[in-house]
Amino acid sequence: MTISPNFKRKPPFDPQKALAPVALIGTSSTMLAVHPSLPVNSVKELIAYAKTQPGGLNFGSSGQGATNHLSGELLRVTAGIPLTHVPYRGAAANTMAAIQGEIQISFQPLLAALPHIKAGRLKGIATTGSKRSQATPNIPTVGETLPGYEVSAWYGIVVSSQVPKSVIARLTSEVEHVLQLPDVRTRLESQGVEIEYLPPAPFAKLIRQDAQRMAKLVKDAGLVFE
C-alpha cells in the first residue's frame, strides 16, 4: 500500500482509495546484521568502517522494494555511506548469503535473524524501528545513532472501500477484542510482531505518513523500481 505505488509499473488502482483501513494489528522491526568477521559492533563503527572501504560495502535484502531493502537505502542516504544493494529471492537466501560472506551486511526480518545471531553465525548490530524490540532489548535501534531513522513493517487489516462503514466498525471492534486474547498475543509476539492496535482513523493517518515517507526515500535514494 505504501511502497508499490513508487514502482515504475504501478498497481492498476490507488491502494489508499480502493482499500479502507479496519485496524492496525502491530509492527515489526528489521534486523541490521553483519558477518561475524566484520570488525564492527555498532552502527557508528559500521558507518566509519564503510567510509574506509574502496567501493563501500554490499547489503542484502529479501528483494527489491521489500521493507528491508528500503531499510538499507535509508541507512545509505542518512549516514552518507557507500552501500550497494544486492537483492535476493526471499529472506532465506538473503540470510544464507550473509552467513557465507557473500555480503557484509544483511537487513532481515527480526525473527529470521535471531537464531543465527544467537548461534554466532551473524552479528546483530541494530534494529530499524522507532524503539528497541521486545525480543532484543539489548540491541539498540539505528535511530539511537542516526536520529530520525526509522523503518518499520506494519501489519493491519483493510477491506474494499465499498464495504459499508457499519461493517467496518463491527470488524474493528472484533479485532480490538481478539488482540486482547492471551493466545493470540502470544502467537503474534512469537512471530516478532509488536502488538499495537489502532482503529480506522489513526491507522489511515499512519498509512498516509508511511506512503509519504517511502515516496521521499525512493526519490532521495534515486531508486528506480521496474
Q: What is the pLDDT of residue 224?
A: 72
Collapsing DSSP states into helix, strand and coil, what is residue 176? helix
pLDDT at position 226 over 70: no
Q: Tell me the pLDDT band of 182, cut-offs 50, 70 and 90.
A: very high
166, β-bridge pairs: none
Which of 38, 100, 44, 30 is CA-nearest to residue 72? 30
Report, as an integer, the average pLDDT of 188-210: 94
The two domains 14-26+152-220 and 30-144 share their CATH topology (first three levels equal): yes
Buried b / exposed e over 143-181, threshold 16 CB at 10 Å, is bebbeebbbbbbebebeeeeeeeeebeebbeebeeebee
What angle, 0 to 180 degrees and rounded to 10, lies between the N-to-C axes of helices 91-99 and 110-118? 30
Q: Selecting from 2.30.40.10, 1.10.101.10, 2.170.270.10, 3.40.190.150, what CATH number does the domain 14-26+152-220 have? A: 3.40.190.150
Q: What is the pLDDT of residue 138?
A: 93
CA atoms of 222 and 70, how far apart (whole Å) = 12
24, β-bridge pairs: 156, 198
Q: What percent of the chain has pLDDT over 70?
A: 99
Report, as an integer, the average pLDDT of 137-154: 94
What pTM does this model have? 0.87
E strands present in the chain: 19-34, 57-61, 83-87, 105-109, 123-127, 152-160, 194-198
Q: Tell me the pLDDT band of 52, cut-offs 50, 70 and 90.
A: very high
Enumerate the domain spans of the chain: 14-26+152-220, 30-144
Q: Which superfamily, per CATH, for 30-144?
A: Periplasmic binding protein-like II (3.40.190.10)
pLDDT at position 134 over 90: no
Pair type for strands 19-34 and 152-160:
antiparallel
Helices (H) and strands (E) in the chain, counts: 8, 7
**Average pLDDT, rounded, for the chain:** 93
Which of the residue ranges 92-96, 98-102, 155-159, 214-218 would you say has the lowest mean pLDDT? 214-218
pLDDT digit string (tens) for 75-109? 999 999 999 999 999 989 999 999 999 999 999 98
Buried b / exposed e over 23-55, threshold 16 CB at 10 Å, is bbbbbbbbbbbbbeebebeebeebbebbeeeee
Cβ-contact 24, 197 below 8 angstroms: yes
pLDDT digit string (tens) for 6-45? 876 777 889 999 999 999 999 998 999 999 999 999 999 9
pLDDT digit string (tens) for 1-17? 898 888 767 778 899 99
